[in-house]
Amino acid sequence: MSKVAIVTGASKGIGAAIALQLAQEGYQLVINYNGNQQKAEAVKVLCEKYQTAIVVQADVAKSDDAKRLCDTAMDTFGRIDVLVNNAGITKDNLLLRMSESDFDDVLSTNLKGTFLMCKNVSKIMMKQRSGSIINIASVVGITGNAGQANYAASKAGIIGLTKSLAKEFASRNIRVNAVAPGFIQSDMTDKLDQEVITNLSAQIPMKRLGDPQDIANTVAFLVSDKSSYLTGQVICVDGGMVM
């Protein structure tokens, strides 16, 4: 029987790359999106070249939506083996200019959404006595970053959550790890001037931006049996930015 993976925020970028990689690894996919159904359906088409996939709209920051997402996965496939918490937003600004709602929104989606999904999925994985949860953090959750107090706080929170849940769930054969991307090519970086890209790359020991596939490959390793003794870890995929 094929294993089942939920990937949140899987309509584009890193989430889409992770979903496609897991499909290629043999996982049946639950592709979550919040706003862009068209892009999510396009990811489903790619995934279904390898395995069955469904698309589920849900705002993971809302308790009822997070539960419905997990319930739909169970109703469709009967099990959940992998959860990848990738859904996230940014609302960057210097602290003095950052509104309370901008802080709350980022923490709600990035950190509370991860908490809600972990809580719902853990009940299922505990009954199965198996599972793997991957939380997508960020290097700025380790280093901080000016103008991203809300985002950095949310990602630092995800790291703390990951380590805490790894300790709680280990006895039930559920592993919880985090991946912390550095500068990764995305819709956002595609809009930047070449000079900005060059300056960003200069800060990276490997002198280049990463690719979403770099994150997807790391996630595929972390959910596989090849990493069966790994839990509570934060893997920086950043070309050497954070050492």
Q: Bridge-partner residues for 176, per DSSP? A: 133
- Contacts (Cβ under 8 Å, ≥6 apart) of 171: none
- Residue numbers annotated as active site: 151
Measuring CA to CA, which residue among 235, 222, 111 is closest to residue 175?
222
Measuring CA to CA, which residue among 69, 232, 110 is closest to residue 166?
232
Task: In whole angstroms, give the CA distance from residue 145 to residue 132.
Answer: 29
Task: In whole angstroms, give the CA distance from residue 232 to residue 160.
Answer: 9
DSSP state of 110: I
Backbone angles phi, psi at 148, to 5 degrees: -135, 40
Instruction: Round to the nearest angstrom and report the end-to-end CA distance of the chain.
Output: 40
Task: In whole angstroms, give the CA distance from residue 38 to residue 91.
Answer: 24
